[in-house]
A and B are shown apart, each in its own frame.
Chain A
């Protein structure tokens, strides 16, 4: 009876109940129930996460209509092989931790949809360069990780590529360049002055390498001689 009088109520009572030892359940029952509960929770969590990777989900926001229209004109949407790369294939990493990071960071997209940052064609165009730079920066820093989900220098047979493509891929391979160094705008229209902007971005990232945030960029290959990349960008600009 004394125990009943000392029982706390409300949230504190729930807290006490949560930490009370089980009197009627075996260890096996608790373990099995926890195991099944874990599977259900993790399966549901992962399934929900995958739902946010579908093209339907990505383009369900009004802000994505321009992106979608441009992407539908590219080879990543329609091609002879019937293989399609959807939004998440290029913008969401496959590795778990990187994927979660991308999902957390994508919260900003919901915010900008809500406040209408790019809800008109004019606003979209005024932000196009900024948005492109954000993706280029991420791609450069990760050695175009998402491109490499499907494409890889090591898997390429240069002998059956067009002569120019084979030569450029060999040059990229020799000079530790990465996909985004040449393949900007493969799914969306390029902003005006994109080459100059990309050059400036690469130089900025290379300069930062010697500073505090440097090691983050070493995996991108920026740590090596930048001159070949400068040459490529200059050639494209001419």
Chain B
């Protein structure tokens, strides 16, 4: 669903590539033993190495390497058995070494691809260019003192995976779908918690425009887009800016631009003269990273079922729609919950209850599935009562509401409240007779052709039974009596 934009000189195609920085889930930093927890008191997770004291040396954390390999496998990518750490040199107050240890020419993960799910119910493949490991910088704090800035080095040296996409993304929806899918994969793999609020996942967006079929246009790199919403807004602004610029006879400059979420605009960060020359070179403190034989296979064996595999399995095995499957696999725990609900129940009915009822109310109350008062087994129990005609779908919604507040099992509630469906045709017969007797006018009208009144009779019968009568039996009997 390429979103083409109409301009004065014809239609424009948006071309986007993304660089996602994902903090590796690990006990300690990429090259030091310091803790890597979020939210610790400032400068309490800083070793001599992280502070770049004289003579300190980096030692690679093996766990981070394994996490990167795992992520690479999850992105269906080539794992490079030899990769090289390089120094990216620049000065900044929150960069203690004066260089960031990253990977440049030889990253640990090469070409891969993932499938994204679009709002119109289609999917699309997006190419992954590479994934490399690198150190995070510290954090500069500028608003605490009139003339001084402060630096918090807790984050300095934490392991990041930079995941670079091919320029395959064609608009804000695809960009959102891409980042959501990457986040989902990382969370399935437990290699990054994907928390954008805490900065453990951040994105830079490379944007250019072209007339369809033309060569790629010159791109601008947009930084500081820290939510899926901001990514959409930044793309909209930047695309409009570039089209206006080109159609006005100007040229897009290849540059880094900063997204300003207050003014809702992108701004040039530095001029060409100020552009950094990072002077990359292989870090002489570190040997080339050579993956041991068998490590990749070992990690492959620990991979969970990935979101897209799960999605396709749900569609194939359970006959679910792409949309329902996509919703259910969005979180690993959600998919697990759903599969526990099914048990012997009908998958489609189960999907409806999970998506529409349970996720509906949880969303409304801003609760996570983990906090649901109704367990998967309990919801499965409720659906089983519908399936075996113990209760009607309508009564089930009442029982569900009661379950949600009390946490009781469906069967207990049905018992306590006497909600068991009436399937005794004799009893229903008697009630129908009573209703017909009480409404001679409507019987007359119905028989005179006013078919719509059938619903009225059903309603009256249900009212008399407190909603417990089996609707199908009521329908059948009523039709007979009124004919």
Decide whether A and B are members of one complex. Answer: no
Binding site for B on A (CB under 8 A): none
